Structure 1
Amino acid sequence: MRRLARPKPLFLILLTILLVALIAAGQHLRLFERAWFNFNSLWKPIDEQAIALDQYQVMVEAQVIEGLDDDVSALTYDPVRKSLFTVTNQDSELVELSLDGKVLRRIALIGFGDPEAVEFISEDIYVITDEREQRLIKIHLDDETRFLDAADAEQMTLGLHMSSNKGFEGLAYDSVGKRLFVAKERDPMLIYEVHGFPHQNPEKSYAVHVVNNPKRDAGLFVRDLSSLQYDERSGHLLALSEESRLIIELDINGRPLSTLSLNKGRHGLQKTVPQAEGLAMDDDGNLYLVSEPNLFYVFKKPQRDL
Structure 2
Amino acid sequence: MRRLLTPKRLLWALLIGVLLLAALTAQEFRLFERAWFPVQEWRHAAKWRGESIWLPDYRVAIEALPIAGLSDLSALAYDPERKTLFTVTNKNSQLIELSLTGQVLRRIPLQGFGDPEAIEYIGPGLYVITDERAQRLIKVRLGEGEAPVSAAATEQLTLGIGMNGNKGFEGLAYDAAGQRLFVAKERDPVRIYEVHGFPQLNPELPYAVHVVDDPARDARLFVRDLSSLDYDARTGHLLALSDESRLALELNGDGRPISSLSLLRGQHGLRRSVPQAEGITMDDAGTIYLVSEPNLFYVFRKQAD
Common topology (TM > 0.5): yes
The residue number in structure 2 matching 1:86 is 87
Distance in 2 (alpha carbons) for counterparts of 1:145 and 1:153: 18
The residue number in structure 1 matching 2:55 is 53
Distance in 2 (alpha carbons) for counterparts of 1:145 and 1:207: 33
CA offset at residue 218 of structure 1?
0.5
**Match of 2:231, as an amino acid?**
Y
The residue number in structure 1 matching 2:138 is 137
CA offset at residue 225 of structure 1?
0.2
Distance in 1 (alpha carbons) for counterparts of 2:145 and 2:249: 37
Instruction: Answer yes or no: is the 8 Å Cα contact 1:224–1:244 preserved in 2.
Output: yes
**Match of 2:67, as an amino acid?**
I
Q: TM-score, normalised by structure 2?
A: 0.96
The residue number in structure 2 matching 1:116 is 117
**Match of 2:233, as an amino acid?**
E
**Match of 1:22, as an amino acid?**
A
The residue number in structure 2 matching 1:3 is none
1:62 is the counterpart of 2:61: no
Distance in 1 (alpha carbons) for counterparts of 2:285 and 2:210: 32
**Match of 1:10, as an amino acid?**
L
Unaligned runs of 5+ residues in structure 2 are: 1-5
The residue number in structure 2 matching 1:211 is 212
The residue number in structure 1 matching 2:288 is 287
Note closer, same or farther for the CA distance 1:52–1:73 as it changes in structure 2 (3 Å cut).
Answer: same
Instruction: Answer yes or no: is the 8 Å Cα contact 2:133–2:165 preserved in 1.
Output: no
Instruction: Answer yes or no: is the 8 Å Cα contact 1:72–1:86 preserved in 2.
Output: yes
SS of 2:267's partner is: coil
CA offset at residue 36 of structure 1?
1.9
Greater mean deviation of Cα atoms: 35-44 or 232-241: 35-44
1:39 is the counterpart of 2:39: yes
SS of 1:230's partner is: strand
CA offset at residue 164 of structure 1?
4.7
Unaligned runs of 5+ residues in structure 1 are: 1-5
CA offset at residue 49 of structure 1?
1.2
Q: How does 1:211-290 map to 2 (within 5 A)?
A: 211-290=212-291
Give CA deviations for 1:166-206 in whole Å, capped at 9, x if unaligned.
Answer: 10000000000000000000011100000000001011110
CA offset at residue 152 of structure 1?
2.7
CA offset at residue 112 of structure 1?
0.1
SS of 1:46's partner is: helix
Distance in 2 (alpha carbons) for counterparts of 1:50 and 1:79: 20
Greater mean deviation of Cα atoms: 162-171 or 179-188: 162-171
Among the aligned pairs, what percent are the same residue?
61
SS of 2:43's partner is: coil
1:150 is the counterpart of 2:151: yes
Instruction: Answer yes or no: is the 8 Å Cα contact 1:117–1:171 preserved in 2.
Output: yes
Give CA deviations for 1:123-152 in whole Å, capped at 9, x if unaligned.
Answer: 000000000000000000011351101013
1:167 is the counterpart of 2:168: yes
Instruction: Answer yes or no: is the 8 Å Cα contact 1:29–1:222 preserved in 2.
Output: yes
User: Which contiguous aligned blocks of 4+ residues in structure 1 show a shift greater than 6 angstroms?
Assistant: none
Distance in 1 (alpha carbons) for counterparts of 2:42 and 2:301: 22
Give CA deviations for 1:198-230 in whole Å, capped at 9, x if unaligned.
Answer: 001011110000001222100000000000000
Distance in 1 (alpha carbons) for counterparts of 2:214 and 2:163: 19
CA offset at residue 156 of structure 1?
1.0
Note closer, same or farther for the CA distance 1:158–1:300 as it changes in structure 2 (3 Å cut).
Answer: same
Distance in 2 (alpha carbons) for counterparts of 1:160 and 1:99: 35
SS of 1:156's partner is: strand
Distance in 2 (alpha carbons) for counterparts of 1:54 and 1:134: 34
Distance in 2 (alpha carbons) for counterparts of 1:41 and 1:107: 42
SS of 1:176's partner is: coil
**Match of 1:211, as an amino acid?**
V
The residue number in structure 1 matching 2:3 is none
Instruction: Answer yes or no: is the 8 Å Cα contact 1:164–1:187 preserved in 2.
Output: no
CA offset at residue 162 of structure 1?
1.8
| CA RMSD, 1 decimal | 1.1
Distance in 1 (alpha carbons) for counterparts of 2:42 and 2:137: 40
Distance in 2 (alpha carbons) for counterparts of 1:155 and 1:100: 32
Note closer, same or farther for the CA distance 1:197–1:269 as it changes in structure 2 (3 Å cut).
Answer: same
**Match of 1:65, as an amino acid?**
I
Distance in 2 (alpha carbons) for counterparts of 1:128 and 1:97: 17
CA offset at residue 76 of structure 1?
0.2
The residue number in structure 1 matching 2:21 is 21
